[in-house]
Amino acid sequence: MTSLSRCLYLPWGRLAMAMALALTLGLLAGCSSDNGSPPLAYPQTIAAARIQIWGFLKDYHVPSATVALVAGDRIVWSETIDRVGTTTPETMFGIGSVSKIFAAAAVMKLVDQGRIDLDAPLVRYLPDFEMASPEYAQITVRMLLNHSAGFGGVDFRNMFTYAPLMGYAEQVQAALATQRLKHPLGYLSVYCNDCVTLVEPLIAAVTGKPYTQYVQEELFAPLGMTHSRFALAPFPPGSFAPGYDVTGNPDAQEFGQAYASGGIYSTPSDMVRFAMMLMNGGCYGNTRLLSAAAVAEMGRDQTRQLPFNPVPTYARGLGWDNVTHSGLAAVGVRAWHKKGGTLVYESDFVVAPDEGLAVMISVSQRTMQTGLLAEQILLHALAENGRIPAVPAPLPETPLPERSPTDAELAALVGVYANKNGPIRVEAAPDRTLRVWVYDAGEWWESASSLKHRSDGTFSSDEAPNQSYRALVADGRRYLAKKEPHWSGHYLEDSLYAQAIEPATQPLSRAWQALAGNTWLAVNEDAQSWILVNGLPPRFTLDTLEDYPGYLFATSPYLANQIVDPATSDWEARMFLKIGLELGRDLNDVVIENREGEAWVRYGSNLFRPQATVPILPVGDSALSIGDEGLAEWRQVREAGSLAISGASAWKLYDADLTLREAGQGTGNVSAVPVGAHLMVYGAPDATIRVTLTP
């Protein structure tokens, strides 16, 4: 069989598959592929999408969007829609977690070659991988790609920076060595960046090449993805779309250090080349990158067989978020979907393999709904080519008949819950309706009210009848499930919204009572991390809530109000939520480390020191010593005045509320330092920083 017959393009699903089979058997030898009719150019789809994208750019104050639509073996549309006039279709955008598709493809290429077994233990290839939970030795490669390995979620420290940093994957592996699993292996699929980040050392161990080099050589190059790369160094000005700060000025380049799970910059035109390869069963032109079996395995539901999957709305693939895109499944179309986001960019990548259609859209700000736009583009294309009769209308807002709830039906929902976003409370009103409250920024906010019991057993309001809640018991735990319209609104998505928090087995110990309400300050976040440069307070807090006696809530610079259970010891408060997909992700244990009599906090790989014991900076000259770990040093300023700093690699000055006031590198001077300010200084291990405070 020739290379061409192995890699014949299959643009139109089942019909094309039948034609390819006939060609393989010699039945169509010598026949032209040109049927005399011009290919569809999708003018109506493109016109509608342009209008919608322009509207979103204006409504959400987004600088630019870039999009490409592929039909069969043709890019029928590639355009950048730009409010600031600085980007083109060749301008790169960060694609965030869409990068995970390339990690899966890289692994599957090695599976094709017999060099990796998906169901072999990871330690076969990474013998130095370990965790605090002994079960780690049974974690398989497949569990990394379908997010069922049981890791906490994501190591946020230094994940996004304003300067290239090497060694993030090594940082993640080192952190995992001290951590325990949050659920049994292969028990559920919950989104986990750290799982995919470990693909980097896996690829390097098997191939002898850095992950970034392997992807460049084995995927980008043969696909002709000439505008796709990892941010290993600063890009030339104008080659990438910058984010914009609050004043409307272009921001510096964002560097994603988690290369496998979110570090690629690309363009939609490059991305749809990757889509063409997938739709053609692993071939691009005359080049085979993956076997058809590998592509099919990536697109196979990896979650239905997991022990815990009580609300199977999403079908996780290998690398894909969902291999049965809900909005397209509602009109009878199979599609694979991957969403991506960084702290600057947002992207959506959808491939409908049976239809020969794919779309990629990226924007330079996280406020815009790229998922809705991608879904709408494909729905319009399917209507324009006659695959569906019309773009579906949103579901009607028609309340179901009411039914008076029993006391047991009310009691099944009333109570306190939590998910990754924090505490949730469900209350029964005197009229036997329900109210849902969420906790944010130190207050309870009503998110739903007048929820009436309906004929199908759910609770919903007359104002939003398609958003409903119900009680669910799974594997001995109580949950609040939620169903609501998504994106285009012609379908509902069901999810485990929150886990019920059962009464604590014991009250807080004296040790935890002494720590609750305290604040700790970051000491090992890089000075160029996105978090610190953009002025997020570098603090960690532990708090209690009256409705949750015996539990603690951790707030870091990345996530707020993470519930942990301190019942097992006085030095470790444990994550315990078991919620699949998105709402149980990014959890950590809170670990107390005794450092010279002080209680420091370890949260993921982040280390925080007590704010209460930060030394006072005296008037006059001071020498601040950086320890052998290279941790940042902090000082409190109790007298107003001016500061002179020398010998620091970087420094930051915060006011009493930990709002960033000034920052710099090397030598620096601050003319007006307020009372109560906090100075943070960086230096090489064992360096000495000179600071002078003048009243």
HSE-CB at 153 with a 13 A cutoff on CA atoms is: 25
Given a contact cutoff of 8 angstroms between Cβ atoms, the answer to whether 497 and 419 are in contact is yes
pLDDT confidence tier of residue 245, bands split at 50, 70 and 90: confident
What is residue 158's DSSP assignment?
A: T
| Torsion sign, CA atoms 304, 309, 311, 317 | negative
pLDDT at 263 over 90: yes
Distance in angstroms (rounded) separating the CA atoms of residues 481 and 493: 11
Output the pLDDT for position 19: 30
Q: Residue 521: CB partners within 8 Å, gap ≥ 6? A: 538, 539, 540, 608, 609, 610, 611, 614, 634, 658, 678, 680
Distance in angstroms (rounded) separating the CA atoms of residues 468 and 485: 10
Given a contact cutoff of 8 angstroms between Cβ atoms, the answer to whether 138 and 129 are in contact is no
Of 135, 274, 111, 270, residue with least CA distance to 199:
111
Three-state SS string over 351-395 comes to EECCCCEEEEEEECCCCCCHHHHHHHHHHHHHHHCCCCCCCCCCC
HSE-CB at 570 with a 13 A cutoff on CA atoms is: 9
Q: Tell me the two tokens of residue 590.
A: 């809170």
What is residue 169's DSSP assignment?
A: H
Radius of gyration of the chain (CA): 27
pLDDT at 579 over 90: yes
H helix or E strand, kind and range, residue 223: helix 221-223
Average pLDDT, the chain: 93
Output the pLDDT for position 125: 98
- CA–CA distance from 18 to each of 278, 290, 385, 617, 629 (Å)? 18, 21, 20, 78, 63
Residue 208 has a CB neighbour count (10 Å cut-off) of 9
pLDDT confidence tier of residue 86, bands split at 50, 70 and 90: confident
pLDDT digits (tens, 9 = 90+) for 176-228: 999 999 999 999 999 999 999 999 999 999 999 999 999 999 999 999 999 99
Question: Between these two residues, 2 and 480, which has the higher pLDDT value?
Answer: 480
Q: Tell me the two tokens of residue 175.
A: 């952190």
Amino acid of residue 12:
W
Strand order in 590-595's β-sheet? 562-564, 552-555, 539-543, 519-522, 606-610, 598-603, 590-595, 572-573
HSE-CB at 677 with a 13 A cutoff on CA atoms is: 23
- CA–CA distance from 17 to each of 12, 33, 71, 494 (Å)? 8, 14, 16, 34
Of 555, 561, 572, residue with least CA distance to 509:
572
Output the pLDDT for position 314: 87
Output the pLDDT for position 46: 98
What is residue 254's DSSP assignment?
A: P
Length of the chain: 695
Given a contact cutoff of 8 angstroms between Cβ atoms, the answer to whether 480 and 438 are in contact is no
3-state DSSP helix/strand/coil percent for the chain, to nearest 5? Answer: 25, 30, 50
Q: Residue 268: CB partners within 8 Å, gap ≥ 6? A: 66, 67, 68, 78, 89, 359, 360, 361, 362
Angle at alpha carbon of residue 310, lines to 307 and 315, rounded to 5° = 80
Output the pLDDT for position 248: 76
pLDDT at 76 over 50: yes
Distance in angstroms (rounded) separating the CA atoms of residues 298 and 336: 10
Q: Tell me the two tokens of residue 262.
A: 């979110």
Any long-range contacts for 133-142 (C-beta under 8 Å, 24+ apart)?
Answer: 133/180, 133/181, 135/181, 135/184, 135/185, 136/181, 138/185, 139/185, 140/186, 141/107, 141/116, 141/117, 141/202, 142/118, 142/302, 142/318
Given a contact cutoff of 8 angstroms between Cβ atoms, the answer to whether 197 and 97 are in contact is no
Output the pLDDT for position 11: 36
Give the percent of the chain with pLDDT over 90: 89
pLDDT digits (tens, 9 = 90+) for 404-435: 999 999 999 999 999 999 999 999 999 999 99
Distance in angstroms (rounded) separating the CA atoms of residues 302 and 144: 12
Residue 645 has a CB neighbour count (10 Å cut-off) of 21
Output the pLDDT for position 7: 64
Angle between helices 43-60 and 370-384 (to 10 degrees): 160
Given a contact cutoff of 8 angstroms between Cβ atoms, the answer to whether 544 and 516 are in contact is yes
pLDDT at 268 over 50: yes
Distance in angstroms (rounded) separating the CA atoms of residues 138 and 123: 8
The mean per-residue pLDDT over the stretch 344-372 comes to: 95
Given a contact cutoff of 8 angstroms between Cβ atoms, the answer to whether 689 and 658 are in contact is no
H helices of 25-122, where? 43-60, 100-112
User: Would you call 511 helix, strand, or coil by DSSP?
Assistant: helix
- CA–CA distance from 243 to each of 156, 370, 525 (Å)? 20, 16, 22
